[in-house]
Amino acid sequence: MLSRIHHVGVVVPDLDAGLRFWRDTLGLHFTKSATIQEQGVRAALLKIGESEIELLEPINAESGVAKFLARRGGGLHHVCFQTDDVERELEAARARGIQLIDQKPRHGLAGMICFLHPKATRGVLVEYAQPAD
């Protein structure tokens, strides 16, 4: 069951500059960061209330985030919903005929994650996340 908006993903051309704005200027609380090679990004999570902002900087030109940045520039990339069972939610989406990007959950900065294709979600890239804690 989807329980809340876990985070909103924002593509930035430079993670350090993004952190200076979101953390230092706006005052959001930095929670964690990592380089996720298989997704081709450096990412950081910043807490705001019960949700987070995820900043994404591409680290190679072939990643989806790099292509997004080249086509559209920085900005809103995706919305992520929290679930207590990402595999169950992915299977439910598949059963409803929703086009998927991920065929099975994978590790991400927010825990176990998967993405639904924006062609099936009226143009919005949707992520499901099952946090590790």
Q: What is the pLDDT of residue 43?
A: 98
Number of compact structural domains in the chain? 1
Give the domain extent around 100: 2-130
Q: What is the pLDDT of residue 108?
A: 94
> What does each of the 133 residues of the chain score in pLDDT, given as a tens digit?
999 999 999 999 999 999 999 999 999 999 999 999 999 999 999 999 999 999 999 999 999 999 999 999 999 999 999 999 999 999 999 999 999 999 999 999 999 999 999 999 999 999 999 998 6
Q: What is the pLDDT of residue 71?
A: 96
Q: Phi first, then psi: what are they for 52, rounded to 5°?
A: -140, 160
Task: Provide the whole-model pTM.
Answer: 0.94
Q: What does the mean pLDDT of the chain come to?
A: 97
Report the DSSP pairing between strands 2-11 and 51-58. parallel
Q: Which two tokens stand for residue 9?
A: 């993903």
Q: What is the pLDDT of residue 86?
A: 98
- The C-alpha atoms of residue 3 and residue 84 are separated, in whole angstroms, by 8
CATH label of the domain that carries residue 37:
3.10.180.10
Q: Do 69 and 23 touch, CB atoms closer than 8 A?
A: no
